[in-house]
Structure 1
Amino acid sequence: MKKTYELIAPCHFGMEAVLKKEITDLGYDITLVEDGRVTFLGDDEAICRANVFLRTAERVLLKAGSFHADSFEELFQATKKIPWEEYIPADGKFWVAKASSIKSKLFSPSDIQSIMKKAMVERMKGAYKVEWFEENGASYPLRVFLYKDQVTVGIDTTGDSLHKRGYRTLTSKAPITETLAAALIMLTPWNKDRILVDPFCGSGTFVIEAAMMAANIAPGMNRSFLSEDWKNIIPRKCWYDTMDEANDLVDNDVKVDIQGYDIDPEIVKAARTNAESAGVDHLIHFQQRSVEALSHPKKYGFIITNPPYGERLEEKENLPKLYRQIGERYAALDAWSLYMITAYEDAERYIGRKADKNRKIYNGMMKTYFYQFMGPRPPKRKAGDEFEK
């Protein structure tokens, strides 16, 4: 019988509900939803599938334990009680890669890291009957969260963060991460049957993520994961089966209308190269075009975009004009919706109307707003409409 683990998927703050739905859709039971994290139950196959298929998670951690500790002695003893030998082989390389502490008595990351490492060594010395560990095998880095003296310990199965899909080698000035872009698209009612335009496409993240969703391309198909080397926990066959499943689901013949524009021709070229790397260049129309030239003959489309915020002082002067242009071009589009992430606090004022919804989101350390201007829904198709010319 397969062993069941608790798995922790960290995500952007505010995106927990989106990630929860993704995990449920993959077929796994949620046990806990906290700020920036969703915990669920799964076996070795779930570790593979979560890494390959989740679009909005930052990584997947195998939960090794959780306990209360408000002194370093408590931290040492509780860490030592965790059966590390069940997770880490005798030649495994293990260390506390990251420790974060909020509202806890223990707050020094470096002290937490060194004390936990010592405790792990003590436990494993007893389990493996050795005094020294070569640590020349597979890597088992730990990520530790302390919140109100409650310690949660996870072993990182992912390696490089899941936002690193492997397609974005060229980036624009203020790129949005792939995981956040995917989560924001999922917060909208957009689907592959609807038009999507990003008039500030930059390195192409929004349109590429949308095209990958439309073609059912798993975000982790073109990269590797740390736990591929965990032969003591995950049989190699699990990874092969997961990749076979991902390949079988791809629909490269899907018909979509996805467009990415940018005023900078070099940026457009970079976006096109990124789309080729992601295998979706045939699904996206890229073009050098300014926002004031934005138009579309059809109704019920979506603008999903990350326009300039004016990070530099000289750029700030241009923002009123730029956001006024966004508002004018959006007003000229018939029955469209506009979804926009920006740190510019006067965005609504210059767009010329108040958003139907507004969500505060931290993009890295920057406070941004996700403004949602919702257009009407298209009428339901009548039977036989699909046969009309």
Structure 2
Amino acid sequence: MTGQLELIATAPMGLEAIVARELKDLGYEDLKVENGRVTFKGDLIDICRCNLWLRTTDRILVKMGEFPARTFDELFEGTKALPWADWIPIHGEFPVEGRSHKSQLSSVPASQGIVKKAVVEKLKETYRTDWFAENGPRYVIEVNLLNDIALITLDTTGPGLHKRGYRRLITEAPLKETLAAALILLSRWNVNRPFYDPCCGSGTLPIEAAMIGWNIAPGLRRSFNAENWPIIPEKLWEEAREEAFDAMDDSVPLEITGSDIDEKAIEVALAAAKGAGLAKEIKFKTLPAARIEPQGEYGCLITNPPYGERLGDEKEARKLISQLGRVAASLPTWSFFAITPTKQFESDFHRTADKRRKLFNGRIECQYLQFLGPLPPRRP
């Protein structure tokens, strides 16, 4: 492999700008932001660093090539021209996944088959064999057809980056870790402010806040497909993990609390916090929203409240929002943030949001409503 790689951080709809901001904060420049992805330049070490550090992206892909593909012949020849043997060893496993949108090649299974055949033909030329055992490291190839352009990528991540490795159990309707991190990064919370989630469920928001507060790389507790690739020396992964451990700062006291009316949810949250190594740092309480009493000044309450469509009882969901509104009225220095598909949230909350942002919780279109309190006074 020669020269810099083109890498792609895939982004859930609506979070592309947050992923781009994360990449800039990590020192990457010359970013190309498109629907569902941010493309940037990097080396092999950057595959390791980005998988370890990015909080809001789904996965890190290597861009193998992009070319017009209106026919199966064009798709075959374009794919075969790419340097597959630079990446995939003779025993590598290389399944092909695909998607197609507004393209003449609309059959995804057929397109996957053509790409697989082209990669096999190219590897045959290098390895001088007619058969591949595919019992080695995993290289997931993706063909993405959009407007008759084929984008061919290799997935370095494996299971999506929302799978941090700290969660064994989940509650009903959990929030993805990547979305939880995005909600926190979109708020004005920092480690010097109190944090409260009154509908914490399995604890995702408090745990992600603690990881951000202590600068814990979210991928430290898991493995990635590319860790088994011969092209990436083991020492690069070791170097990236060492950097991540050195960057942690657990000297700052955390004021992070999660509560929920469901005792079983709190048990799940405690287990997850323990899995993340944060059980002693986050307070969890079994408590209805009407009885919460967040402590401190200039805090941030960030939550994913239950709603009728999700948990089946609209009357109770609206009552909860009203209770949260009363809590907000009693905390004049706090800021409040809620992700919700509920159209009447602001009227039930008895306050108009200062900012709104369209986001998707899974496939459900939501608004991220932001009710902003004053910023903390600057420290001398």
- TM-score, with length taken from structure 1: 0.94
Matched ranges for 1:373-384 at <5 A: 373-382=371-380
1:260-319 deviations in Å (ceiling 9; x for gaps): 000111211110110010011222111111110122353211100000011268511222
| Cα gap change, 1:297 to 1:234, in 2 (>3 Å) | closer
Q: How far off is 1:209 after superposition?
A: 0.3
Q: How far off is 1:178 after superposition?
A: 0.4
2:148 maps to a residue whose letter is D
| Cα gap change, 1:314 to 1:270, in 2 (>3 Å) | closer
1:48 maps to a residue whose letter is C
Aligned pair count? 380
1:179 maps to a residue whose letter is T
Name which of structure 1's ranges 301-310 and 134-143 shifts more when overlaid on structure 2: 134-143
1:13 maps to a residue whose letter is M
Match of 1:40 in 2: 40
Q: Kindly indicate whether the alpha-carbon contact (under 8 Å) linking 1:298 and 1:334 is maintained by their aligned counterparts in 2.
A: no
**Structure 1: distance between partners of 2:285 and 2:341:** 25
Matched ranges for 1:145-164 at <5 A: 145-164=144-163
**Structure 1: distance between partners of 2:310 and 2:361:** 17
**Structure 1: distance between partners of 2:243 and 2:318:** 48
1:303 and 2:287 matched: no
**Structure 2: distance between partners of 1:19 and 1:42:** 16
Q: How far off is 1:322 after superposition?
A: 1.5
**Structure 1: distance between partners of 2:283 and 2:300:** 15
Q: Kindly indicate whether the alpha-carbon contact (under 8 Å) linking 2:334 and 2:373 is maintained by their aligned counterparts in 1.
A: yes
Match of 2:186 in 1: 187
**Structure 2: distance between partners of 1:69 and 1:220:** 36
Match of 1:385 in 2: none
**Structure 1: distance between partners of 2:298 and 2:29:** 36
Report the aligned-residue RMSD.
Answer: 1.5
| Cα gap change, 1:194 to 1:245, in 2 (>3 Å) | same
**Structure 1: distance between partners of 2:329 and 2:378:** 24
Match of 2:359 in 1: 361
1:80 maps to a residue whose letter is K
Match of 1:288 in 2: 286
Q: How far off is 1:196 after superposition?
A: 0.6
1:112 and 2:111 matched: yes
Q: How far off is 1:38 after superposition?
A: 0.6
Gaps of 5+ in 2: none
1:81 maps to a residue whose letter is A
SS class of match (1:243) = helix
Match of 1:141 in 2: 140
Q: Kindly indicate whether the alpha-carbon contact (under 8 Å) linking 2:297 and 2:333 is maintained by their aligned counterparts in 1.
A: yes
**Structure 2: distance between partners of 1:174 and 1:351:** 22
Match of 1:69 in 2: 69
Q: Kindly indicate whether the alpha-carbon contact (under 8 Å) linking 2:115 and 2:143 is maintained by their aligned counterparts in 1.
A: no
1:64 maps to a residue whose letter is M
Q: How far off is 1:2 after superposition?
A: 6.8
Match of 1:165 in 2: 164
Q: Kindly indicate whether the alpha-carbon contact (under 8 Å) linking 1:3 and 1:44 is maintained by their aligned counterparts in 2.
A: no
2:321 maps to a residue whose letter is Y
Match of 2:331 in 1: 333
| Cα gap change, 1:85 to 1:322, in 2 (>3 Å) | same
1:11 and 2:11 matched: yes
Q: How far off is 1:144 after superposition?
A: 2.2
1:56 maps to a residue whose letter is T
1:326 maps to a residue whose letter is L
**Structure 1: distance between partners of 2:297 and 2:142:** 47
2:350 maps to a residue whose letter is G
Q: Please identify runs of 4+ aligned residues in structure 1 that moved more than 6 A.
A: none
1:273 maps to a residue whose letter is A
1:242 maps to a residue whose letter is A
Match of 1:81 in 2: 81
**Structure 1: distance between partners of 2:183 and 2:355:** 13
Name which of structure 1's ranges 306-315 and 85-94 shifts more when overlaid on structure 2: 306-315
2:13 maps to a residue whose letter is F
**Structure 1: distance between partners of 2:112 and 2:352:** 47
Match of 1:206 in 2: 205
1:109 maps to a residue whose letter is V
Q: Kindly indicate whether the alpha-carbon contact (under 8 Å) linking 2:322 and 2:350 is maintained by their aligned counterparts in 1.
A: yes
**Structure 1: distance between partners of 2:139 and 2:211:** 30
1:160-188 deviations in Å (ceiling 9; x for gaps): 11000011112111111001110111011
**Structure 2: distance between partners of 1:32 and 1:71:** 28
2:128 maps to a residue whose letter is K
Match of 2:345 in 1: 347
